[in-house]
Structure formats: C-alpha cells, structure tokens
A and B are shown apart, each in its own frame.
Chain A
Amino acid sequence: MLSRTAENLYWLARYVERAEYLARTIDATLRVTALPAAYIGKTNEWDSALLTAGVAGSFYQQYEEANEHNVVDYLSFSAANPSSIKNCIEAARLNSRSVRTALTSEMWDTINSAWIELQAVWSKGTSTREDLAKFLRFVQETSLRFDGSAYRTMLRNDAYWFSRMGVHLERADNTARILDVKYHVLLPEKEHVGGPLDFYQWSSILRSVSALTAYHWVYRETLKPWLIADLLILNDTLPRSLASCYGNLVRNLDQIGVAYGRQGPAQRHARGIRNRLEHSNMNDIFQHGVHEFIQEFITDNSRLGEIITKQYLI
C-alpha cells in the first residue's frame, strides 16, 4: 500500500484514540473535583489533567489559571491546542478523506457523521454541565464505534495492522502519561501511608483508563495503589495496560513482517519493550522507581513511533 495511506491510517487511529482519552480524562477530573476539598487534598486536578494530556506548557502561554473552565475549553475546543478533542476530530476527518479508499464505509460514516454532528458543538459550545457530559460521552462513543467498525469490517491486511498499531501506540502513551503524573500516589505496599484522601485519586486514575470495574474483577480487593500500578503496567488482560498494548504491537508488527516477507528495526524494538514488560514485576519496578520506569517507557514508546515512521510511512 501507499506509504501515505499507511501513515494516514495510523494517525487516524491515533487521533480517535487520543480524543477518547481526553474525553475520559476530563470526565474523571470533573468527578474528582466535584468532591469536597477534604476528600482530594490540595492538588489542582485540572493541572494534572493538563499534564496527562501533555499540553501544560502551551496552556500557560494562553491562560493564567488552570481551572475547570479554562482547561475544559483548552482540552476540548481550543483551535490553538493541536491535541484538543476538536483538532483530533478535525484531523481524523481530514485523514479519513485522504484515505477514503482504504476505509470501509462504516468507518468513514462514523467519522464523517461525528464530524457533522460536532459542528454544532463547535459553534455553540457547551453551556451547561449536562451539555458537556453529553459531548464527552459522544466522543467516547464515536471512538468505540470507530474501533468496532474497524474490527468488524476491515480486511485483515496491512491497512488494518497499521491502523491497530496507531491505536496501541497512542493508548500505551496515554496510560503511561497518567501513571507519570500520578506516580506519587502509587506507592509500594510497605511505604503506603495514604488516608482516605488518596482513594479518590486512585479511582480517578482507573476511571480515566476505563478500568475501575476491571480492577475489582482482577484483584477482588479494595483499591490498593500497588495493585493499580500492577494492573496498568503489567497485567496483559487489561486492554489499556502497557503490557497488553505491547503484546498487540508486537503481534501487528509481526503480521506486517510476514506479509511483506521481512522484519526490521520496528519489530526488534517493539519486541525489546515487550520482553522487558514481560520479565518485570512490581517489586523490581518500585525498587527501580516507578517514575524512572515510566519515563523510560514513554521515551521508548515514542522511539518506536519514529522507527515505524521511518521503516514504513515515509
């Protein structure tokens, strides 16, 4: 397939995934900030939301204060923020148009109708909490529909694999970023001194990667920070965990390798990251430092993005 087509499919999937993640982050932050101050402490959750979205720097060039109004606006609707939900959806639609021949009509329809529907939101904004909630839900549903359409209608060939790689790479990045911002509340068992205060932080983390229910099914336990870290980093049954994302990335890259009859640096690099995740346990990670571990992962993950681009997309 054309390199440009593969690139568009890959980024299309990334944009949709990112839009969903942003919607989840805003959703989770709204929940936690609605609690009385006594429950969440003094941290500014809107600041955290900006950090997990990786846009704190550019935000402060335009705004003085990270409050609900400013952050929701910047993450959702701002044209100046290249990663706002609006820009993700616009970019996804533009990418879809350029690769229409590689999309199934169901996928195109999902993106195009969402884009049409959201024009009204862009022009009017969301004046009430209810409107905002509806908008955030709509974005998440669009992503689910898009993912489902891809899964159910695409041929299992390179187009599908490039698109899936976009999803997993973006997802791994998102999960890693939330861990990076919140690592200080995720302490190992013996150092744990948290009070009820942290409980809401923890559930907020899980909510933003849609893993709150999953947690209870996996551990059958009350929320424990070290288990949350275990779930998001190492548990490959959770679709948004780093381990699961890398299991999928390695599989997709192998499928491409088989189809094209050769492997390259992308396959090797992805396998390296997967192996490290497979052979780690939480004790080691805590010993090594969660923060360092995650930072290394973020660097490795974006490096994989660069290698894939060089090997296939340009």
Chain B
Amino acid sequence: MAVAFDEMNIPGGDLRPAYQELARWLKETPPEALEYRRQEAELLFRRIGITFAVYGEAESTERLIPFDVIPRIMSGKEWALLEKGLKQRVRALNMFLRDIYHGRDILRAEIVPDDLIFQNPVFRPEMNGQQVPHDVYVHIAGIDIVRTDAEDFIVLEDNARTPSGVSYMLENREIMMRLFPDLFARHRVAPVERYPDELLAALRSVAPQSASGEPTVALLTPGVYNSAYYEHSFLADKLGIELVEGRDLIVKNNEVFMRTTEGLKRVDVIYRRVDDDFLDPLTFRPDSVLGVPGLMSAYAAGNITLANAVGTGIADDKAIYSYMPDIVKFYLGEEPILKNVPTWRCREPKDLAYVLDNLGELVVKEVHGSGGYGMLIGPAATKATIEAFREKLKREPEGFIAQPTLALSTCPTCTASGLAPRHVDLRPFVLTGSKRTTIVPGGLTRVALKEGSLVVNSSQGGGTKDTWILDE
C-alpha cells in the first residue's frame, strides 16, 4: 500500500497551510497540558452521558466513543468544493429514488439493472407510485468521504436511511470550545451550532398539506436500548420536539397522534430513527414492537411525512453505489464532482474472478452490511480468514462488492507515544427541505485509533475528532 496522504505534513518537512497555526500551538503546549485536557474531555463526555451501545456485547452496554482532542482542519476552499459535490450527490440520490418509485426511466435506459432493484430486500414495493411531499426522500443524508490526496474527495458510502453521528459533531465542538478557547482564538473556525435549527426548518418545510400552519414534528426512537439513543434524545432536545417511541403514537382515521397528558395530539412530521422494517407491524415485520400499527396507511393517505422516506435504502445499497457516477450523470447531466471508489461487483463473473484472485489486496463488503460489520480487509486479514471469506464469496457472490484498499488520509492524533498520524474519514450531514439543501461546514471526523488500522467505525474501536473548516 502506498504511503498515506497526511493532511498536516507534506513529505520533506513543510506544513499544509490549514495546519500552520495548530502546529505552532502544539509546539508551545507541553504534552502534560494536552494529556490533562484529554482526560478532562473524557470526564465531560461521561458526565453528559454521551455513550453508545455495542451490539453483541453483554457487559458494558454503554461505552464512550474515544475522543481525540487534535482537530482535523480543512481550508475554506477545500470545503467549498466538497460542499458543491455533496449537494450534487444528494440531489441525484433524491431524483433516483423518485424515479425508482415512479417512472423508472433509469431502468428503461438500462443504466441500472432491474434485478438489482426488484430483487433487493431494501426495495419497498409499498412506495410504488406513492407521493412524498416535495419529492424529498432523503431529508438527512450522511455521506462518508475519504481522501487519498490533496485534490480529490472520494465517497466511500452514501447513508440515506437513518445516518447517525451528528450529535458527536455538535458535542465535540462544544467540548473543544470549552477546553481549548486559546486554540479557537487563533483560528477562524466556521460554526456548526445552527445544525438543529436547519434540521427543524427542513423537517417543517416538508409537512403534509393536511398539517396545520404550525406543523408538529416528533422524533421517533426505538428506545433507550438503541445504540444511538443518546443522539435521539440530544436532537429532540435541541430541536425542541417530542422524543416519541412507537407506543406513544396511535393511528386513527389515517392520522397519527401522540398520547399526551392532555389527550391525543396530531403529529405531522416524524423524524424517524427506526428502520423501515420496524416502522409498522401491519405492513412490515409483524413482530416489531418498536413501530406504530397503521403508520403506513396514514403515510399513504398523505397525512404524515416520514423523514427519511420509506424505501431510501435502495439508494445507499452498496450494490447501487457502484452505479452512482452514472446516476449523477443521468439525472443532472453533470460530471460527478465527488469520485467513487473503483468497485468490483461480485455478481458479475469477470469481476468475481478478479476479486477471488486478489482477495489479499482488496476490501470486500457485504452489499447490505453497515457499521463495519462483516467485511474483509485483505491486507490486514490472516490466511484463514481470507479462505473462509473466499468460500462465502463463492456461495453468494451477489451479496458482495470489492474495492481496492485505499490509503486513507491521516491526521495527527494523540496516542500513547505522543502525536502520530492516524487514518480518518469524514461524514458531513446534508439536509434537504422543500426549497433548499444545506450542510453545516464540517461533519463528523472518525479516526482509526489503532496504528495502521483503516476501520474508523465506533463499533470497531474508532474514535472521533472535531472537524474545523477555516473561514478565510
């Protein structure tokens, strides 16, 4: 693997401009002071209760995501390009979804193969012909971005269902401002704190026609045992909306109501953090206790807006991902600004043969997997793991895609032996309302804390960093 692009240091000893002030500050700050504030940050996170749960671990159901106090910095110019690319990508995602559930021009043009849609478990036939307000399907998108050089931004993954992590973006900034006021004073960092306002505005703008002038928005959570519960309560609080569970809602005459101490109250927009499968036991999984019986009929009647819409999984499916550059071109007639990682579709025999021959160098992902579960990182895997994976691949090739192992960019990070480069990615959050698409500058930077590791997922030992966009 090539030497990774470092976002701070240029080989030969120079610094990239965005990091110059940080480097100066680091030189002036004794390591003990940094360590002291690192501990302080951890204490704050625990006291505020910013925790997440790891599935499949019986003990320690609540864990902290490690926080690295060294910020990741980008120049305003870099951000401007990224922002443009993100807006383009999300526009295309929304147009693609509208098309798939209506006219299906893209299938007729044979750009995306039919079976990839119709045989895909995340395709929702219930959505065929269903109108969604303002044709917005993906109100909140989390697009995972990586860099391999100073010029390009590459999309690693589109998250169009219920992307999480934005609370960390906001809390990381709060804590950094509390602990490092001096460092902020030396930079002009674009603020992120208006995210909740933007989100609420976007959600209200897509209220159904039957809603009153002041639409009621609620956040639907699976409950306290969900891994992202902290984020749900955090956002409900910041937005000033009710945090509801399925049992708090009831459908009557195709309208959705919440049970309050003053009786039933109509809800117009649900920012739902419950997966499609669990939304309505009458339509989807009958064993779901997290959902609301009848919700889908209220949805079909146009009395409730779900954000994100039902069936958006078909747009962020890893099998669809490889078609994204064509999808952008098809709907917008523009060249994609953000690149895709070259992807081998194991469903195609030629690609499969190549993948099987080169397992040791590739990253192989499950088409329907997420969160870093069930993937193979060839260069880091043992022979036995690779062989086991080879069998899985042969048995069900359509279940996998493969990509080259990218040399993700690195950023300086606190480690046991001082500052050292660690691999990072970035998840900006793109909000789409009836009229506009907005992105607060930055996003959530995730960092693989283990030396050499490329897995940034919090469920796999990744941490987070504050992300600074310099306002030049």
Which A residues lie at the B interface, using CB under 8 A? 1-6, 94, 97-98, 100-101, 108-109, 112-113, 116, 158, 162, 256, 260, 312-314
Contact = CB atoms under 8 A, between A and B. Distances in A.
Contact of A2 (B47, B234, B259): B259
A94 B224 contact: yes
Given A1-B242, A101-B233, A109-B47, 4 more contacts: A2-B259, A3-B259, A4-B247, A97-B49
B54 to A, nearest CB: 17
B260 A108 contact: no
9 contacts: A1-B242, A1-B260, A3-B248, A100-B237, A101-B243, A112-B47, A116-B46, A116-B47, A162-B261
Contacts of B243: 100-101
Contacts of B229: 97
A313 B237 contact: no
B233 A100 contact: yes
Contacts of B261: 1-3, 6, 158, 162, 256, 260, 312-313
Nearest to B221: A98
A313 B262 CA distance: 10
Interface in B40-81: 46-47, 49
A260 B263 CA distance: 10
A231 to B, nearest CB: 35
B399 interface: no
Q: Which 6 pairs across A and B sit closest by C-beta, in order of nearness? A: A100-B233, A101-B237, A312-B261, A3-B259, A6-B261, A101-B236
A60 B311 CA distance: 56
Interface string B232-252: 011011000011110110000
Contact of B47 (A94, A113, A256, A314): A113
Nearest to B247: A4
Nearest to A111: B49
B223 interface: yes
Contact of B262 (A98, A100, A109, A260): A260
B258 interface: yes
A259 to B, nearest CB: 9
Nearest to A109: B47
A254 B280 CA distance: 39
Nearest to A101: B237
Contact residue range for chain B? 20 to 34
Interface of B: 46-47, 49, 223-224, 229, 233-234, 236-237, 242-245, 247-248, 258-262
Contacts of A109: 47
B260 A2 contact: yes
A109 B50 CA distance: 12
Nearest to B62: A97
Contacts of A162: 261
Nearest to A100: B233
Q: Which of A2, A5, A94, A312 has the most CB of B within 10 A?
A: A2
Contacts of A256: 261
A113 B49 CA distance: 9
Nearest to A260: B262
A170 B245 CA distance: 27
Contacts of B262: 260
A178 B80 CA distance: 69
A6 B242 CA distance: 12
Contacts of A4: 245, 247-248, 259
B64 to A, nearest CB: 12
A2 B248 contact: yes
A116 B46 CA distance: 9
A2 B258 contact: yes
Q: Which of B229, B233, B234, B236 has the most CB of A within 10 A?
A: B233
A256 B244 CA distance: 22
A112 B248 contact: no
A112 B224 contact: no
A162 B260 CA distance: 13
Nearest to A93: B49
B260 A3 contact: yes
A94 B62 CA distance: 12
Nearest to B235: A101
A169 to B, nearest CB: 16
Contact of B224 (A6, A97, A116): A97
Contacts of B236: 101
B401 to A, nearest CB: 38
A185 to B, nearest CB: 42
Nearest to B258: A2
A4 B237 CA distance: 16
A5 B261 CA distance: 9
B352 to A, nearest CB: 47
A313 B223 CA distance: 18
Q: Which of B229, B247, B259, B262 has the most CB of A within 10 A?
A: B262
Contacts of A108: 49
A18 B258 CA distance: 31
A175 to B, nearest CB: 27
A113 B229 CA distance: 19
Nearest to A311: B261
A2 B261 CA distance: 6
Nearest to B240: A101
Contacts of A113: 47
Q: Which of A5, A100, A101 has the most CB of B within 10 A?
A: A101
Contacts of B259: 2-4, 314
Nearest to A256: B261
Nearest to A162: B261
A79 to B, nearest CB: 15
A94 B224 CA distance: 8
B338 to A, nearest CB: 36
A298 B406 CA distance: 69
A113 B43 CA distance: 11
B260 A98 contact: no
B348 to A, nearest CB: 47
A132 B347 CA distance: 65
Q: Which of A5, A97, A112, A260 has the most CB of B within 10 A?
A: A97
Given A2-B242, A3-B259, A112 B233 contact: no
